[in-house]
């Protein structure tokens, strides 16, 4: 078995697509009409080939409650790995990204939390090997 799709719940698919492509530099992979919503995926330019992030519409009320609780508690919906946290932190700040924490060394990693403008906290992590 292999991982193919991971989902992140988003409040608005069009806004999420703009954030993940224009701000983070991901590339749109799939965009198919599914009635009221879309099957919308993006891929990371530096990620594992074939793995797609689904920008999942959050129409299910319990999912909305869950997403808000995670956001309020600063619990990340997903983690992104970087090889240069300081550089990416400065680049994203310049693009208007709201960080919840400054880059911090935490033993074998450095990390920072930011918001994706779609209702999620993202964990940006630099492993120290």
pLDDT at 59: 87
Q: Collect all residues with Cβ–Cβ distance below 8 Å to 77 and sequence separation of at least 6.
A: 8, 9, 67, 70, 116, 120, 121, 122
Residues 6+ apart with CB under 8 A from 20: 26, 42, 53, 55, 116
Give the pLDDT means over successive 10-residue stretches in the chain (129 positions).
95 96 97 92 91 94 96 97 97 98 97 97 96
Q: Which domain holds residue 116?
A: 5-127
What pLDDT, on the 0 to 100 scale, is given for residue 48?
83
Q: Rounded to whole angstroms, how far apart are CA atoms 102 and 86?
A: 9
Question: pLDDT at position 34, please?
Answer: 87
**What pLDDT does residue 53 have?**
97
CATH number at residue 71: 3.10.180.10
β-pairing, 104-106 vs 37-43, is unpaired
Q: Structurally, how many domains does the chain consist of?
A: 1
CA atoms within 13 A on the CB side of 125: 15
Q: How far apart are CA 111 and CA 92, in angstroms?
A: 14
> What pLDDT is recorded for position 129?
81
């Amino acid at each position: 078995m292999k991982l193919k799709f991971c989902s992140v719940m988003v409040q608005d698919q069009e806004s999420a697509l703009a954030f993940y492509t224009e701000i983070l530099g991901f590339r749109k992979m799939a965009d198919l009409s599914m009635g009221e919503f879309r099957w919308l995926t993006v891929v990371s330019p530096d990620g594992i080939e074939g793995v797609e992030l689904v920008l999942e519409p959050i129409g299910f009320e319990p999912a909305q409650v869950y997403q808000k609780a995670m956001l309020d508690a600063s619990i990340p919906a997903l983690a992104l790995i970087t090889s240069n946290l300081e550089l990416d932190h400065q680049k994203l700040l310049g693009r208007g990204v709201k960080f919840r924490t400054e880059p911090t060394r935490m033993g074998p990693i450095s990390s920072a939390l930011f918001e994706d403008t779609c209702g999620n906290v993202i964990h940006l992590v630099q492993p120290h090997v």
